[in-house]
Chain A
Amino acid sequence: MSAKVKRVGGGRLTVLIPYLWLAAFFLVPFVIVVKISLSQTAMALPPYTPVLDVLAGWDGVKQFAAQLSLDSYRLLGSDELYLNSYLKSLEVAGVSTALLMLIGYPLAYGIARCPRGLQPLLVMLVVLPFWTSFLIRVYAWINILQRDGLLNDVLMRLHLIDAPVAWLASDTAIYIGVVYSYLPFMVLPLYASLEKIDPSLIEAAADLGCPRWKSFWRVTFPLSWPGLAAGALLCFIPITGEFVIPDLLGGSRSLMIGQTLWTEFFSNRDWPAASAIAVALLALLLIPILVYERLQKCAIGEAP
């Protein structure tokens, strides 16, 4: 760092302190996960071998390297349980992202077309539930969806159904919970891109005799594409690794990958398998994460 240009916050410590913290609590743990995923289960605590013995010097490292194994990854490949939960996660994430787009788009569009003065309030109303606890929002749906819950009660009074329907412990419940919890993540980036669209473009289209639906489809929709992409990624990535929603609302027949990791770790105490699942999940998510990173950079680059 050159001392010629003095900058506020240019000091070494400004960079060093957060850098070291993130290295210690984000990077190092990651290396450990990869290492343990290459280890074998052992009965003693911590339940895995080998442990890298740094004090033994080079011999320790060699011994360590010799004991590394791909067993956990072979397990992932051989047991259908793991493959199925990966596929299940992708399915839930894909379908919910599509549903979120369908529900989020009219909402974001409606907000962007409201009078200017009202928009910040509406945006805040969309964000506010995001600030309340995730757990509480999922729990609120248990109240509604359970067998003697409100939904069955209302539907029976309307004579739409004769007997209570088991909404909980089903994929429907997972989709309701996911869409409900992630809606702000879809609406905010969409609103941000819709709000930026110059209304004169649509006026121009109308002046040239373009019907409203067509100008939406040919002008507004293509211009909102970045927001839609950002929203989709912001939803898809965390939904894939979701644990709380499928655990509380879903059934036990097919698990999502986050639940499988949790069970492997807390119930089976198979740390290498849990770590291997984590590494494989991350590999799966790397592509959307890199795309997201690129988008983030573009967004920051655009800002003045």
Chain B
Amino acid sequence: MQRTSAFNVVSVALGLAFLYLPIAILVIYSFNASRLVTVWGGWSLEWYRELLRDQAILDAAWMSLRIGALSATAATVLGTLAAVALTRAGRFRGRLLFSGMVYAPLVMPEVITGLSLLLLFVAANVDRGFWTVTAAHTTLTMCFVTVIVQSRLIGFDRSLEEAAMDLGCPPLRTFLTVTLPLILPAVAAGWMLAFSLSLDDLVIASFTTGPGATTLPIRIYSQVRLGVKPEINAICTIIVAVVALATIASSLIVKRGAVRRAREGLGVQV
């Protein structure tokens, strides 16, 4: 029974409109020539030019990109290891604590994670800045990577690994040449998610940052508290565009991986 009733069409349409209208309005008004929000003064790129002259925003964006890339890479390595440990290592001492620690940050309120990490850095007498924010973001985002990679590892034909090892391939080499290529789409998707979560984070970064390490969300937040500004609309539009492109790209990667896997799967059967 695949009949789509009018009620279903309307509820999907209304839901999607609710999700996209505010962002669409934001994007449109970033091209508004008038400084007043309600007054439409025609199309203009003035706020983007203004943005290019705003050194503080540019510095913050560069800082966020560096923190995001570094923490996403570290989180991908750690998160993938954790996923492999949870699905392949069988029982080990402290497994319950381990899985608890992996899942807890997913639901932990950000204020608590941020506060506890800051107190750690103070207790350890570390200078706060670039590295502390990176470490904090790595901790937060590796858990998301673990969940994504783990779901791929669970639905994975383990006989491929066993076959390689029966033929005398050592475990590490089996992982690198058999397992890793097969879970690569999930690993890539995990990196993307970690990167965008890091770019997005305000609360944890505010707690763990120090002088000279203002990230983009912290900068935007301090501007937004003073009221709506067309420049902020412009920087938000740029972020939305980058994120949309990255998401579409990553979903294409995953899809291509799935198609290739399906083909290879057929090949193995034949």
Contact = CB atoms under 8 A, between A and B. Distances in A.
Interface string B1-43: 1111101111110111011101101100100000011100000
B88 interface: yes
Given A113-B4, A131-B243, A148-B37, A293 B112 contact: no
B15 A29 contact: no
Q: Is the interface of B mostly helix, strand, loop or mixed?
A: helix
A8 B165 contact: yes
Contacts of A27: 101
Interface majority SS (helix, strand, loop, mixed), chain A: helix
A278 B116 contact: yes
B122 interface: yes
Contact of A25 (B14, B84, B135, B146): B135
A23 interface: yes
Contacts of A303: 151, 154-155
Nearest to B136: A25
A149 B85 CA distance: 52
A109 B102 CA distance: 31
Interface string B74-103: 000011011011011110101000101111
Contacts of A135: 200, 202, 217, 220-221, 224
Interface in A268-304: 271, 274-275, 278, 281-282, 285, 289, 292-293, 296, 300, 303-304
A144 B24 CA distance: 11
Contacts of B122: 46
Chain A interface size, as a band, is 35 or more
Nearest to B235: A136
Contact of A153 (B1, B11, B38, B178): B38
B225 interface: yes
Contact of B84 (A9, A46, A153, A199): A9
A77 interface: no
A133 B243 contact: yes
Contacts of A199: 1-2
A300 B111 CA distance: 28
B110 A241 contact: yes
A125 interface: yes
A140 B25 contact: yes
A180 B23 CA distance: 11
B25 A150 contact: yes
Given A25-B117, A143-B228, A146-B37, A132 B239 contact: yes
A115 B9 CA distance: 11
B131 interface: no
B45 interface: no
Interface string A148-175: 1110010000000000000000000000
Contacts of A122: 12, 16
**7 A-B pairs closest in CB distance:** A241-B109, A107-B15, A29-B116, A9-B84, A106-B11, A18-B82, A110-B8
20 contacts: A7-B171, A9-B179, A18-B81, A28-B120, A29-B116, A32-B120, A106-B8, A107-B14, A114-B8, A126-B16, A129-B19, A131-B247, A132-B23, A135-B220, A143-B228, A146-B228, A237-B107, A243-B203, A258-B109, A289-B104
Given A10-B90, A18-B85, A199-B1, 8 more contacts: A10-B171, A11-B171, A18-B146, A26-B116, A140-B22, A241-B112, A278-B112, A289-B107
